């Protein structure tokens, strides 16, 4: 008891009608606790008392349940108030029955620390992000299946440049400016462009 007093821990117990029990206990708190340990009867926490418990703003709640249905009911209310179940351990104290004892830890979510709302406009994304939507092999397979002919990596790379899709740095550049590679046939170029559209690498 002395340690509990030093830690500002309070153990509150009332013997009265269940309808008013939880309200009396909550009213006796007198301060906002950091942690609340709830050990209600099988019917769970009295519904009028639960909102008052949650208004205390305790960072953590330990809920000891002996009836799954009432716990699930109370859990929904606690989650709606911004609590998240971090851990739950079941203990079979009632063998050969449908009931099971459970000890669950819930923590209060802080929007400032845990949630960040981000809006992304896909039109403002760098085109290099679009380039990652499909690999060369995927484009080759798509063209082969759709048009029945093969396109080379060089064909795809040249068409990407024409469409403004920035390639990663190429370390296999020609040794001289005089080195020329053949132009991509128009038929293949059009097929590759259709593949880009199919993979949402460019707008239709």
pLDDT band at 11 (very low <50, low <70, confident <90, very high): low
The binding site for S-adenosyl-L-methionine consists of 39
Among the listed residues 128, 157, 138, 146, the one whose alpha carbon sits nearest the alpha carbon of residue 194: 146
pLDDT, mean of residues 44-49: 80
Question: Is pLDDT larger for residue 50 or for residue 3?
Answer: 50
The gap between the terminal CA atoms of the chain, to the nearest Å, is 74
Do both 71 and 128 map to the same domain? no
Do both 136 and 76 map to the same domain? no
Do 196 and 131 contact (CB within 8 A), yes or no? no
pLDDT band at 177 (very low <50, low <70, confident <90, very high): very low
Residue whose entry in the numeric block shows the structure tokens 């809920």 = 63
Active-site entry in 66, 88, 100, 163:
66
pLDDT band at 120 (very low <50, low <70, confident <90, very high): low
Do both 8 and 81 map to the same domain? yes
Quick check: helix, strand or coil at residue 196?
helix
Residue whose entry in the numeric block shows the structure tokens 């007093």 = 5
**pLDDT tens readout for residues 127-156:** 444 445 688 889 999 999 999 999 998 999
Question: Is pLDDT larger for residue 161 or for residue 22?
Answer: 161
Has 88 been annotated as catalytic?
no
pLDDT band at 41 (very low <50, low <70, confident <90, very high): confident
Length of the chain: 204
- Alpha-carbon distance 61 to 86, whole Å? 10
The 3 state secondary structure assigned to 147-159 is HCCCCCHHHHHHH
For the sheet containing 83-91, what is the strand order? 35-38, 60-65, 101-108, 83-91
Domain that holds residue 138: 122-169+181-198
Domain count, the chain: 2
This prediction's pTM: 0.45
Does a structural domain hold residue 204?
no
Do both 27 and 68 map to the same domain? yes
The binding site consists of 39
Tell me, what CATH number does 49's domain have? 3.40.50.150
Burial class (CB in 10 A: 0-12, 13-18, 19+), 106: buried
- pLDDT at residue 73 greater than cutoff 70: yes
């Amino acid at each position: 008891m002395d340690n509990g007093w030093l830690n500002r821990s309070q153990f509150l117990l009332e013997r009265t009608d269940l309808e008013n029990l939880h309200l009396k206990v909550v009213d006796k708190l007198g301060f906002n606790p950091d942690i609340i340990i709830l050990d209600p009867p099988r019917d769970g926490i009295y519904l009028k008392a639960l909102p008052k418990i949650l208004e205390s703003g305790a960072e953590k709640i330990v809920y000891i349940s002996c009836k799954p249905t009432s716990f699930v009911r109370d859990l929904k209310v606690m989650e709606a108030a911004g609590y998240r179940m971090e851990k739950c351990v079941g203990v079979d104290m009632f063998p050969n029955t449908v009931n099971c004892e459970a000890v669950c830890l819930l923590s209060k979510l802080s929007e400032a620390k845990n949630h960040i709302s981000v809006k992304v406009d896909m039109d403002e994304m760098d085109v290099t992000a679009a380039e990652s939507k499909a690999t060369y092999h995927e484009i080759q397979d798509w063209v082969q299946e759709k048009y029945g002919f093969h396109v080379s990596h060089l064909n795809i790379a040249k068409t990407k440049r024409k469409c403004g899709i920035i390639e990663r740095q190429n370390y296999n550049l020609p040794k001289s400016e005089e080195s020329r590679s053949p132009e991509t046939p128009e038929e293949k170029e059009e097929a590759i462009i259709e593949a880009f559209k199919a993979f949402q690498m460019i707008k239709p």
